[in-house]
Amino acid sequence: MILFEEHAELLTLFEKFKELKTKEDQANSLELAEHASTVMNTLDEGIKELDNLDTFFEYLHQVGASHRRIPGFKVEYFWKIEKPFLTAVETTLGDRYTENVENIYKITIKFIIETLVKGYDNANAPT
């Protein structure tokens, strides 16, 4: 939730998306709070897939590409998740958040976001 507290302007994307959605989309529409846990689950899944890079790339490219359908979304918004994610890890791990662990998570989140960005960039813009 830190993400949306610090970047309140991102909230409007969710509001706009709500208004623009078709009937079909409305059925499986995410609320903002749900999206926060969707993001965390996606990062968690991504980390679990790190031992199989084919599925790692396929999964995160698809998630990145799916953001093409969100009006007003900019690819650089993916980077806004970097610091809140690291803060969440630090809070969760407490004493176990050593410098070494911090470095590992920094590299990991960077790699995940780069992969989301690539998926978004390589997807075709909606027509």
Q: Which residues contact ligand HEM by CB under 6 A?
A: 10, 13-14, 17, 29-30, 35, 38-39, 42, 63, 66-67, 70, 73, 77-78, 80-81, 116
CB of 49 to ligand HEM, least distance (A): 13
Q: Please identify, using beta-carbon distances, which residue of 7 and 98 lies nearer to ligand HEM.
A: 7
CB of 103 to ligand HEM, least distance (A): 20
Residue 88's nearest CA partner among 50, 44, 23, 49 is 44
Q: Please identify, using beta-carbon distances, which residue of 6 and 52 lies nearer to ligand HEM.
A: 6
CB of 95 to ligand HEM, least distance (A): 27
Q: Please identify, using beta-carbon distances, which residue of 15 and 98 lies nearer to ligand HEM.
A: 15
- The SS3 assignment for 73 reads coil
Residue 123's nearest CA partner among 71, 83, 64, 79 is 64
CB of 96 to ligand HEM, least distance (A): 23
Alpha helices in the chain (DSSP H): 2-6, 11-20, 23-27, 32-48, 53-66, 82-93, 99-122
What DSSP designation does 28 have? T
